[in-house]
Amino acid sequence: MSVFALPRWVSLLIACAAVLLCGCSRNRYPVIEQMAAGDVEEGRHLTYAFACGTCHKIPGVSGATGNVGPPLTGFAARAYIAGALANTPENLSRWIMHPQLVEPGTVMPNLDVSPEQSRHIAAFLYTLR
């Protein structure tokens, strides 16, 4: 063994660390973003911009302490959206854009969220575990 040779386990540890660090660049949520076709950080920003925290408690969103709607903690693990729709990216985007069409009379307002914005918000909500 030369002076510069490392034990095999150290080499493997360094290789694993390099792979993990390369995967942690800008996109920390590649699977979620691909599934929801949106950008997680843009979705976090949009939940703030649309004042979703006025009605919902939302982890990771400053000032999101509302108690009108349900808290969004653990959203990714929920089976249903609004108690009626299967929790899929398509249904979530539909709910975000048109809550009154999905559940007439719901207190969730129509905020004129675009399809693109709804996908970003969905991507962010799927990070809430």
CA distance 43 to 119: 8
Does residue 2 have a pLDDT over 60?
Answer: no
What is the pLDDT at residue 110?
A: 95
pLDDT in tens, 23-82: 443 456 666 667 778 899 999 999 999 999 999 999 989 899 999 999 999 999 999 999
In terms of Cα–Cα distance, which of 31, 27, 43 is closest to 125? Answer: 43
What is the pLDDT at residue 20?
A: 46
Per-domain residue ranges for the chain?
29-125
The CATH architecture one would assign to domain 29-125 is Orthogonal Bundle (1.10)
Its pTM surpasses 0.85:
no
Quick one: what percent of the chain has pLDDT higher than 70? 74
Hunting for tokens 């920390």 — which residue is that? Answer: 28
* The CA-based dihedral angle spanning residues 28, 45, 84, 34, taken in that order and rounded to the nearest 10 degrees: -30
- Phi/psi for 42 (5° steps) reads -65, -40
CA distance 128 to 47: 13
